[in-house]
Structure 1
Amino acid sequence: MSNNQNFFERVYDVARLIPYGRVTSYGAIAKYLGTARSARMVGWAMNNSSGKNVPAHRVVNRKGILTGKHHFKGTNLMEQLLQNEGIEVVENEIQNFENIFWDPVKEL
């Protein structure tokens, strides 16, 4: 297993712990893994998570914007998955982001 694959698996393990109805950021996962400057790599991991039972729709940028939405099939699938969990999204931005943000550093 390459270093990237190993890192991606660690990212997926954290993402699988994000509670239903909550979201986290690429940077928060990177920080939890001890690689605070690797937020972009976390994003790449999410882009490659299809078929791996990872709730990638719960990972957004640090401002609560659905920057990874174009990696989901369908026009608004990421937004629809979040809304199905009771998360309000307006113009690709999560509302009440601070209240539903899940920080693995503090929660795990």
Structure 2
Amino acid sequence: MSIQTPTELLDGTVLAILEKQDLYGYALTKEVKQHVTVSESTMYPVLRRLERCAELTTYSEPFEGRMRKYYQLTQEGREHLIRIKTDWKNFATGINEILGEE
């Protein structure tokens, strides 16, 4: 797909996935890649930014002798996700009307 995913939609994708379950970075990246074209080098700055903005928190769990860093949605992240979903519905409706989609 040649359309670049805007930051706000990438944030929404990450937040929506983490709304369902906590995931470690690699698993989250794989899940996002199933839906949008994104590189690992793009994902980790997104995660760090969302963590800095208090929309995600992290915790570590042992796995095969090392620690995995899991990402978890915060209340601020849930509220941001609601705003993104509302904005997306309005945007998608307008674009679909222009492009003739139902």
For the aligned pair, the TM-score class normalised by the smaller chain equals 0.3 to 0.5
Q: What TM-score, normalized to structure 2?
A: 0.42
Larger C-alpha radius of gyration, 1 or 2? 2
Indicate the structure with greater helix content.
2
Q: What TM-score, normalized to structure 1?
A: 0.40
